[in-house]
Amino acid sequence: MRIGKQDNAFTAIATSDADSITVRGLDLCDELIGQIEFTDYFWMLVLGEKPDRAQRRMMDACLVAIAEHGLVPSVQAARMTLAAGPEAYQGAMAAGILGMGSVVAGSSEQGGRYLQEVIDKAEADGTDLETAVIASLEDHKATRRKVAGLGHGQHSEGDPRANRLLAVAGEEGLKGRYCETLELLGKHATRIIERPLPINVSGAIPATILDAGWPLQALKAVPILARTAGLAAHLYEEASRSIGFIMSNHADLAISYDGKPSAKTEAAE
Protein backbone atom coordinates (compact mmCIF):
# COMPACT_ATOMS: atom_id res chain seq x y z
CA MET A 1 0.00 0.00 0.00
CA ARG A 2 1.39 3.37 -1.00
CA ILE A 3 1.23 6.05 1.71
CA GLY A 4 2.59 9.57 1.25
CA LYS A 5 4.80 10.92 -1.53
CA GLN A 6 6.73 8.41 -3.61
CA ASP A 7 8.96 10.75 -5.64
CA ASN A 8 11.87 11.49 -3.30
CA ALA A 9 13.62 8.17 -2.79
CA PHE A 10 17.04 9.49 -1.80
CA THR A 11 19.30 9.83 1.22
CA ALA A 12 22.44 11.95 1.43
CA ILE A 13 23.77 10.42 4.65
CA ALA A 14 25.38 7.08 3.81
CA THR A 15 25.68 4.20 1.36
CA SER A 16 27.74 1.02 1.09
CA ASP A 17 28.82 -1.66 -1.33
CA ALA A 18 30.88 -4.84 -1.03
CA ASP A 19 34.15 -2.93 -0.68
CA SER A 20 33.38 0.35 1.06
CA ILE A 21 31.09 2.41 3.28
CA THR A 22 30.57 6.06 2.40
CA VAL A 23 29.30 8.55 4.97
CA ARG A 24 28.57 12.11 3.89
CA GLY A 25 30.93 11.72 0.94
CA LEU A 26 33.82 10.34 2.99
CA ASP A 27 35.14 6.79 3.15
CA LEU A 28 34.34 5.44 6.60
CA CYS A 29 37.49 3.33 6.98
CA ASP A 30 40.03 5.50 5.18
CA GLU A 31 38.85 8.99 6.12
CA LEU A 32 36.77 8.76 9.30
CA ILE A 33 37.66 5.90 11.65
CA GLY A 34 40.59 7.06 13.73
CA GLN A 35 40.58 10.39 11.90
CA ILE A 36 37.61 12.26 13.37
CA GLU A 37 36.42 13.07 16.89
CA PHE A 38 32.93 11.87 17.78
CA THR A 39 31.47 15.37 18.31
CA ASP A 40 32.66 16.33 14.82
CA TYR A 41 31.18 13.13 13.46
CA PHE A 42 27.83 13.77 15.18
CA TRP A 43 27.71 17.27 13.69
CA MET A 44 28.74 16.03 10.26
CA LEU A 45 26.20 13.21 10.27
CA VAL A 46 23.35 15.63 10.95
CA LEU A 47 24.46 18.66 8.93
CA GLY A 48 26.66 17.13 6.24
CA GLU A 49 29.78 19.11 7.13
CA LYS A 50 32.26 19.22 9.98
CA PRO A 51 31.90 21.94 12.61
CA ASP A 52 34.48 24.65 13.02
CA ARG A 53 36.44 24.89 16.27
CA ALA A 54 33.91 27.16 18.02
CA GLN A 55 30.96 25.01 16.99
CA ARG A 56 32.74 21.88 18.21
CA ARG A 57 33.49 23.44 21.58
CA MET A 58 29.92 24.62 21.98
CA MET A 59 28.49 21.21 21.15
CA ASP A 60 30.94 19.51 23.50
CA ALA A 61 29.97 21.93 26.27
CA CYS A 62 26.26 21.23 25.78
CA LEU A 63 26.77 17.46 25.76
CA VAL A 64 28.86 17.57 28.93
CA ALA A 65 26.39 19.91 30.66
CA ILE A 66 23.36 17.64 30.27
CA ALA A 67 24.87 14.14 30.34
CA GLU A 68 24.46 13.66 34.07
CA HIS A 69 22.34 15.14 36.87
CA GLY A 70 21.95 12.35 39.40
CA LEU A 71 18.99 10.03 39.99
CA VAL A 72 16.48 11.89 37.84
CA PRO A 73 13.32 10.04 36.72
CA SER A 74 14.82 8.81 33.44
CA VAL A 75 17.78 7.30 35.33
CA GLN A 76 15.49 5.68 37.89
CA ALA A 77 13.39 4.18 35.11
CA ALA A 78 16.48 2.76 33.44
CA ARG A 79 17.99 1.33 36.62
CA MET A 80 14.76 -0.27 37.82
CA THR A 81 14.22 -1.76 34.35
CA LEU A 82 17.68 -3.34 34.42
CA ALA A 83 17.12 -4.62 37.95
CA ALA A 84 13.91 -6.31 36.80
CA GLY A 85 15.43 -7.62 33.54
CA PRO A 86 19.23 -7.86 33.75
CA GLU A 87 19.38 -9.41 30.29
CA ALA A 88 17.57 -6.45 28.69
CA TYR A 89 20.27 -3.75 28.65
CA GLN A 90 18.83 -2.21 25.51
CA GLY A 91 15.38 -2.16 27.13
CA ALA A 92 16.76 -0.39 30.19
CA MET A 93 18.55 2.15 27.99
CA ALA A 94 15.34 2.69 26.01
CA ALA A 95 13.37 3.14 29.24
CA GLY A 96 15.70 5.93 30.27
CA ILE A 97 15.54 7.68 26.92
CA LEU A 98 11.76 7.37 26.78
CA GLY A 99 11.67 9.04 30.19
CA MET A 100 13.18 12.21 28.73
CA GLY A 101 10.08 14.32 28.29
CA SER A 102 8.95 17.91 28.22
CA VAL A 103 9.45 18.34 31.98
CA VAL A 104 12.78 16.62 32.70
CA ALA A 105 15.86 16.20 30.47
CA GLY A 106 14.03 16.55 27.15
CA SER A 107 12.85 20.12 27.62
CA SER A 108 15.62 21.74 25.55
CA GLU A 109 13.49 21.39 22.43
CA GLN A 110 10.65 23.32 24.08
CA GLY A 111 13.12 26.00 25.12
CA GLY A 112 14.45 26.30 21.57
CA ARG A 113 11.01 26.47 20.02
CA TYR A 114 10.00 29.17 22.49
CA LEU A 115 13.06 31.26 21.64
CA GLN A 116 12.21 30.88 17.94
CA GLU A 117 8.62 31.90 18.65
CA VAL A 118 9.71 35.12 20.35
CA ILE A 119 12.19 35.95 17.57
CA ASP A 120 9.59 35.28 14.87
CA LYS A 121 7.05 37.42 16.71
CA ALA A 122 9.49 40.33 16.95
CA GLU A 123 10.21 40.10 13.22
CA ALA A 124 6.54 39.77 12.27
CA ASP A 125 5.52 42.76 14.40
CA GLY A 126 8.54 44.85 13.43
CA THR A 127 9.52 45.34 17.08
CA ASP A 128 12.81 44.89 18.90
CA LEU A 129 13.52 41.69 20.81
CA GLU A 130 13.11 43.27 24.24
CA THR A 131 9.61 44.47 23.41
CA ALA A 132 8.68 41.03 22.12
CA VAL A 133 10.14 39.36 25.22
CA ILE A 134 8.20 41.58 27.61
CA ALA A 135 4.95 41.04 25.70
CA SER A 136 5.47 37.29 25.69
CA LEU A 137 6.19 37.16 29.42
CA GLU A 138 3.13 39.28 30.19
CA ASP A 139 1.04 36.88 28.10
CA HIS A 140 2.53 33.91 29.97
CA LYS A 141 1.59 35.52 33.27
CA ALA A 142 -1.94 36.30 32.15
CA THR A 143 -2.50 32.73 30.91
CA ARG A 144 -0.53 31.15 33.78
CA ARG A 145 1.80 29.27 31.41
CA LYS A 146 5.24 28.00 32.28
CA VAL A 147 8.10 29.89 30.61
CA ALA A 148 10.24 27.37 28.72
CA GLY A 149 13.95 27.61 29.48
CA LEU A 150 13.54 29.48 32.77
CA GLY A 151 13.28 28.35 36.39
CA HIS A 152 14.61 25.31 38.20
CA GLY A 153 13.30 23.54 41.30
CA GLN A 154 16.76 22.81 42.69
CA HIS A 155 18.81 25.67 41.25
CA SER A 156 16.37 28.42 42.21
CA GLU A 157 19.11 31.04 42.55
CA GLY A 158 20.47 30.29 39.08
CA ASP A 159 21.46 27.20 37.14
CA PRO A 160 25.29 27.08 37.14
CA ARG A 161 25.28 24.95 33.99
CA ALA A 162 23.37 27.62 32.09
CA ASN A 163 25.73 30.33 33.26
CA ARG A 164 28.74 28.34 32.10
CA LEU A 165 27.26 27.52 28.68
CA LEU A 166 26.48 31.18 28.05
CA ALA A 167 30.02 32.06 29.12
CA VAL A 168 31.46 29.55 26.63
CA ALA A 169 29.28 30.99 23.87
CA GLY A 170 30.60 34.44 24.73
CA GLU A 171 34.20 33.24 24.74
CA GLU A 172 33.72 31.75 21.27
CA GLY A 173 31.92 34.75 19.82
CA LEU A 174 28.82 32.66 19.18
CA LYS A 175 26.21 34.74 20.96
CA GLY A 176 23.50 35.83 18.54
CA ARG A 177 19.75 36.35 18.44
CA TYR A 178 18.94 33.23 20.46
CA CYS A 179 21.28 34.03 23.34
CA GLU A 180 20.14 37.64 23.28
CA THR A 181 16.50 36.54 23.51
CA LEU A 182 17.22 34.14 26.36
CA GLU A 183 19.16 36.73 28.34
CA LEU A 184 16.34 39.24 27.89
CA LEU A 185 13.90 36.65 29.16
CA GLY A 186 16.13 36.07 32.16
CA LYS A 187 16.35 39.83 32.74
CA HIS A 188 12.59 40.46 32.83
CA ALA A 189 10.92 37.17 33.85
CA THR A 190 11.30 37.36 37.63
CA ARG A 191 9.83 40.86 37.74
CA ILE A 192 6.92 40.14 35.38
CA ILE A 193 6.00 36.64 36.57
CA GLU A 194 6.69 37.65 40.19
CA ARG A 195 8.71 34.61 41.21
CA PRO A 196 12.35 33.58 40.73
CA LEU A 197 12.88 32.44 37.13
CA PRO A 198 16.59 32.19 36.36
CA ILE A 199 17.81 30.83 33.04
CA ASN A 200 18.12 27.05 33.21
CA VAL A 201 20.21 24.59 31.24
CA SER A 202 17.25 23.74 29.00
CA GLY A 203 17.21 27.36 27.91
CA ALA A 204 20.97 27.73 27.58
CA ILE A 205 21.50 24.59 25.48
CA PRO A 206 19.16 25.63 22.67
CA ALA A 207 20.22 29.29 22.78
CA THR A 208 23.93 28.54 22.49
CA ILE A 209 23.75 25.63 20.07
CA LEU A 210 21.22 27.33 17.77
CA ASP A 211 23.43 30.41 17.62
CA ALA A 212 26.28 28.04 16.73
CA GLY A 213 24.34 26.85 13.68
CA TRP A 214 22.62 23.68 14.90
CA PRO A 215 19.15 23.15 13.38
CA LEU A 216 16.05 23.53 15.53
CA GLN A 217 14.58 20.35 14.04
CA ALA A 218 17.47 18.27 15.45
CA LEU A 219 17.63 19.98 18.83
CA LYS A 220 16.23 17.09 20.85
CA ALA A 221 19.06 14.87 19.60
CA VAL A 222 21.56 16.80 21.73
CA PRO A 223 20.18 15.94 25.22
CA ILE A 224 19.28 12.43 24.07
CA LEU A 225 22.83 11.74 22.93
CA ALA A 226 24.26 13.29 26.10
CA ARG A 227 21.98 11.41 28.48
CA THR A 228 22.77 8.14 26.70
CA ALA A 229 26.31 8.50 28.03
CA GLY A 230 25.01 9.15 31.53
CA LEU A 231 22.64 6.19 31.33
CA ALA A 232 25.53 3.96 30.26
CA ALA A 233 27.30 4.87 33.50
CA HIS A 234 24.22 4.21 35.63
CA LEU A 235 23.49 0.88 33.96
CA TYR A 236 27.09 -0.25 34.36
CA GLU A 237 26.88 0.60 38.05
CA GLU A 238 23.44 -0.97 38.37
CA ALA A 239 24.77 -4.25 36.99
CA SER A 240 27.48 -4.43 39.64
CA ARG A 241 25.91 -2.52 42.56
CA SER A 242 22.16 -2.58 42.17
CA ILE A 243 19.89 0.04 43.70
CA GLY A 244 16.92 -0.49 41.37
CA PHE A 245 14.89 -2.50 43.87
CA ILE A 246 15.90 -0.16 46.70
CA MET A 247 14.44 2.77 44.75
CA SER A 248 11.32 0.72 44.02
CA ASN A 249 10.90 -0.12 47.70
CA HIS A 250 11.38 3.48 48.81
CA ALA A 251 8.78 4.60 46.28
CA ASP A 252 6.34 2.03 47.65
CA LEU A 253 6.94 3.23 51.22
CA ALA A 254 6.59 6.90 50.25
CA ILE A 255 3.18 6.56 48.62
CA SER A 256 0.05 5.86 50.67
CA TYR A 257 -3.02 4.11 49.29
CA ASP A 258 -6.17 6.21 49.50
CA GLY A 259 -8.46 4.13 47.31
CA LYS A 260 -11.49 2.12 48.36
CA PRO A 261 -10.67 -0.56 50.96
CA SER A 262 -11.49 -4.19 50.27
CA ALA A 263 -14.34 -5.91 52.12
CA LYS A 264 -11.75 -7.94 54.03
CA THR A 265 -9.95 -4.79 55.18
CA GLU A 266 -13.18 -3.14 56.26
CA ALA A 267 -14.18 -6.23 58.23
CA ALA A 268 -10.81 -6.29 60.00
CA GLU A 269 -11.21 -2.68 61.03
The DSSP line for 208-233 is HHHHTT--GGGTTHHHHHHHHHHHHH
Per residue in 146-163, pLDDT tens? 999 998 666 667 789 999
CA 123 from chain centre, in angstroms, equals 27
Which residues fall within 8 angstroms of residue 166, CB to CB, at 6 or more apart? 175, 179, 182, 183, 199, 204, 207, 208
Mean pLDDT of 177-181: 98
Contact 131, 121 (CB under 8 A): no
What is the pLDDT at residue 264? Answer: 80
90 backbone dihedrals φ, ψ, rounded to 5° = -65, -35
d(CA 7, CA 73): 43
What is the pLDDT at residue 5? Answer: 83
What is the pLDDT at residue 152? Answer: 66
Mean pLDDT of 261-268: 79
| Domains, the chain, with CATH or none | 8-50 (no CATH), 108-218 (1.10.230.10)
What is the pLDDT at residue 203? Answer: 96
43 backbone dihedrals φ, ψ, rounded to 5° = -60, -45
d(CA 11, CA 8): 9
Would you say residue 267 has pLDDT above 80? no
Would you say residue 76 has pLDDT above 70? yes
